[in-house]
Amino acid sequence: MQQIAIKLDHYIGEANEKHSTWRLK
């Protein structure tokens, strides 16, 4: 389960460069 979270975080990290307003934490 944690591996999925890591992959999601990595994917969001790449997407965050294009969409800096994707993850608002």
* 1-25 pLDDT, tens digit each: 789 999 988 888 887 777 666 555 5
Distance from C-alpha of 19 to C-alpha of 10, rounded to nearest angstrom: 14
- Give the model's pLDDT for residue 16: 72
3-state secondary structure of 2: helix
User: What does DSSP assign to residue 20?
Assistant: T
Alpha-carbon distance 25 to 10, whole Å?
15
Identity (one letter) of the amino acid at 24? L
Q: Are 15 and 22 in contact (CB under 8 A)?
A: yes
pLDDT of residue 14: 83
What six digits make up the tokens of 22?
A: 């994707």
